[in-house]
């Protein structure tokens, strides 16, 4: 597919990279960008050669936020529709069944942080700034930010960030658990690919089940989460990947998973 606001690349080893490519406007999320991201996620979902997706940005920003000129034109109805479209696309990324890594190279503000939070793992350059400053514009985060942020950092820290609009430096984001790793800017791509390579060693069916179990438990509570965990564990015990993984362990060799 052709994209005007994104760069989409595959490395041939199971990793695909989606790069926000509007550096002249700090990769602001326009309606076109969100539409293209929707198509890119569909493309990655349907490409069985892709097992891990890295999301990053060009220039000084991961994504600096929504396109403010577009927000200025919204009314109550169109604004709600705009929010729902973004939520749907980000949720699609989150539930595509393949691990995603946000490699936060710079500013991740507003919709940018919301996009990063829709990825399963976040790592950041030590120059990154992360925040949800929407209240300063008289609105709130609209792409799932009010729901994902407290689930990641807790209610108190989330409300502090949302109500003040302040951005966190990368090390502060690491301290509160918003990112899991901070590296020098020149090391970010390598760190993301090292993490992807580590993920690729593991069974794809098991990883899909793990992500499903975590999400279900967070949304439905501990007891319900344990029930789905047991069900998925049982299904995995009947999978070819489980037999390969256990067999490889007993035979002291690396497993070769086929995703079955």
Cα–Cα distance list, 136 to 2, 131, 161, 238 (Å) = 35, 12, 12, 53
DSSP code string of 122-190 = EEEETT-EEE--GGGGT----SSHHHHHHHHH-HHHHHHHHHH-PPEEHHHHHHTTS-SEEE-GGGHHH
Q: Are 190 and 79 in contact (CB under 8 A)?
A: no
Burial class (CB in 10 A: 0-12, 13-18, 19+), 6: buried
pTM above 0.85, yes or no: yes
* Secondary structure (3-state) at 9: strand
Give the total residue count for the chain. Answer: 260
Identify the pLDDT of residue 256.
85
Q: Give the integer Cα–Cα distance in Å for 126 and 138.
A: 30
CB distance 63 to 27 below 8 Å? yes
73 Cβ partners below 8 Å, 6+ apart? none
Catalytic site residues? 114, 134
- Please check whether the domain covering 6-200 is classified as CATH 3.10.20.30: no
Whole-angstrom CA distances from 144 to 56, 94, 116 are 19, 11, 11
* Tens digit of each residue's pLDDT, the chain (260 residues): 789 999 999 988 899 999 999 999 999 999 999 999 999 999 999 999 999 999 999 999 999 988 888 888 889 999 999 999 999 999 999 999 999 999 999 999 999 999 999 999 999 999 999 999 999 999 999 999 999 999 999 999 999 999 999 999 999 999 999 999 999 999 999 999 999 999 999 999 999 999 999 999 999 999 999 999 999 999 999 999 899 888 988 988 888 888 88
Burial class (CB within 10 angstroms; exposed 0-12, middle 13-18, buried 19+) of 161: buried
Strands 129-131 and 168-169: antiparallel
- The answer for residues whose C-beta is within 8 angstroms of residue 77's C-beta and 6 or more apart is none
Q: Where are the domains of the chain?
A: 6-200, 204-250
């Amino acid at each position: 597919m052709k994209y005007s606001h994104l760069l989409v690349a595959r490395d041939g080893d199971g990793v695909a990279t989606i790069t926000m490519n509007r550096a002249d406007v700090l990769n602001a999320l326009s309606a076109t960008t969100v539409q293209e991201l929707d198509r890119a996620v569909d493309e990655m979902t349907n490409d069985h050669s892709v097992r891990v997706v890295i999301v990053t940005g060009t220039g000084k920003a991961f994504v600096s936020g929504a396109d403010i000129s577009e927000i200025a034109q919204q009314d109550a109805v169109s604004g709600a529709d705009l929010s729902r479209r973004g939520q749907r696309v980000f949720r699609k990324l989150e539930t595509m069944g393949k691990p995603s890594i946000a490699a936060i190279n710079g500013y991740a503000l507003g919709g940018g942080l919301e996009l990063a939070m829709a990825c399963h793992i976040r790592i950041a350059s030590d120059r990154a700034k992360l925040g949800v400053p929407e209240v300063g514009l008289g609105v709130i985060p609209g792409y799932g930010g009010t729901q994902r942020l407290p689930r990641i950092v807790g209610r108190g820290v989330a409300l502090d960030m949302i109500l003040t609009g302040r951005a966190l430096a990368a090390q502060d984001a690491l301290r509160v658990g918003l990112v899991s790793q901070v590296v020098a800017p020149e090391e970010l791509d390598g760190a993301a690919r090292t993490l992807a390579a580590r993920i690729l060693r593991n069974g794809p069916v098991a990883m899909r089940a793990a992500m499903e179990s975590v999400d279900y438990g967070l949304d439905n509570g501990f007891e319900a989460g344990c029930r789905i965990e047991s069900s998925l564990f049982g299904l995995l015990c009947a999978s070819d990947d489980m037999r390969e993984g256990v067999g490889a362990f007993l035979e002291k060799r690396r497993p070769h998973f086929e995703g079955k």
